[in-house]
Amino acid sequence: MVGLLHQERLIIKIMETERIYFDYNASSLIRREAFNLIENINKSYGNPSSIHEEGRTMRDLIENSRVYIANSLNTNAENVIFTSGGTEAIDIALNQNPGRIIINSTEHIAVFESAKKTNSTIEILEVDENGIVNLDKLESMLQKGPALVCVMFANNETGIIQPIREISDIVKKYKSYLFCDAVQAYGKVKINFDELNIHFMALSAHKVGAFAGSGAIIINEDIKKIIPTMLGGGQEFGLRGGTENLIGITAFGECAKLIDEICAENQKLKEYINILEKNIKSFGGFIFGGNSKRLPNTSLFAFPDIKADTMLMKLDLAGYSVSSGSACSSGKVKKSHVLKAMNVDDKISSNAIRISLGWATRKSHITNLLNFFEDIFKENYIGVKSVR
């Protein structure tokens, strides 16, 4: 370390200490149960479509996972179709090409992009300033004719939970279809697929502690005909061709088996989010969707005078992994269409950062983060006093 500037030494010291991960909505840290599986699978091999013993062993692993995922949602295993992730599940749902698609304005970008590829007309369903879809508007839109309605269970940036039960009642009344992106909600709140009257639902394995590159579309058994996007060798009941992602699916199934435990863990995180938000407000920060029902692990907030990219860089250097809710695949901070839909001023929305907690989060991580914010504000001569 001789010859290094004081600041460089400080950065190296920070890098050497344990990092604190606050980005579970982007991707959860892999759960131990998922890792343990790799070793078991490693001892075996074979294509799950082969009729020999090795193939049959692999087939059993996949079919068991299908059952675990179905059980976690209170539905039947035949309704679970494995995909390469949430994005592909969304694409299959939108590919049903119903002629008319109504999209909630705060959906994940994948929904808008998949809808654009279809020949259907696209209409946008607005949200109020609390991020909740306007139910009267939905009803008046459906009075004009049936549609595929796309409303996510919970938003990835704000954590805001939509009233899916009421939405599905309206959709049913007008003999329409409901696609629900539950990628963020699964494992954070309990979902009863069969009771909710959802027609298509998207899930993603890497949000519940399994591996990226695996997910599922859950299809209501009332749907008799599906237009596949990938035919291939007829796998997944002919609805999604291609040799199955064995490790991805099996790890996904293993996490689904634990869904009640995972949900309970997430519910406990609400206490940490409350501590965090109480302090953020005392530092002059603003919580987005603060009046709405939200996921227990998510907080999107902004400080008036610090841009998100500046804050994210400071956090990263200090060892905290945080995102702006609206980071795109290039890692750049984009303007959030979600906050825009909630009528949030551009100036404040460009300061928004998202903390999302998960299974490895400890109370001390929150305390450390709050100390960090306090130091930042001191550095900027904004006199703040912690309420901890």
* Interface residue list for ligand PLP (CB under 6 A): 85-87, 108, 110, 152, 156, 181, 183-184, 204, 215
Q: How far is CA 74 from the centre of its chain?
A: 20
Least distance between ligand PLP and beta carbon 287 (Å): 20
- φ/ψ of residue 83, rounded to 5: -135, -175
Question: Smaller CB distance to ligand PLP: residue 215 or 296?
Answer: 215
Q: Which phi-psi region, left, alpha or beta, contains residue 135 (left: φ > 0; alpha: ψ -120 to 50)? A: alpha
150, 180, 263, 328: which one is catalytic?
328
Q: Which is nearer to ligand PLP, 323 or 351 (CB)?
A: 323
CB of 49 within 8 A of CB of 235? yes
Q: Which is nearer to ligand PLP, 247 or 376 (CB)?
A: 247
Residue 91 or 254: the one with the smaller Cβ distance to ligand PLP is 91
**Beta-carbon-side half-sphere exposure of residue 305 (alpha carbons within 13 Å):** 9
Look at phi and psi of residue 199 and say left if phi exceeds 0, alpha if psi is from -120 to 50, else beta: alpha
As measured in angstroms, the least distance from the Cβ of 159 to ligand PLP is 11
For ligand PLP, the closer CB: 160 or 376 = 160
Contact 94, 101 (CB under 8 A): yes
Nearest to ligand PLP of 202, 376 (CB atom) = 202
Query: What whole-number distance in Å separates Cα of residue 44 and Cα of residue 27?
Result: 28
Active-site annotation holds for 150: no
Helix or strand or coil: residue 190?
coil
Outline where 150-196 has alpha helix (H): 164-173, 193-196
Least distance in Å: CB of 82 to ligand PLP? Answer: 12
Does an H or E element contain 264, and which?
A: helix 259-282
Report, in Å, the least distance between residue 290 CB and ligand PLP.
20
Provide the minimum distance between the beta carbon of 152 and ligand PLP in the complex, in angstroms, as a whole number. 6
- Residue 154's DSSP bridge partners are 161
Q: In what order do the strands lie in the sheet with 177-181?
A: 80-83, 215-219, 200-204, 177-181, 148-150, 100-104, 121-125
Length of the chain: 388
Min dist. Cβ of residue 210 to ligand PLP (A): 10
Return the active site residues: 328
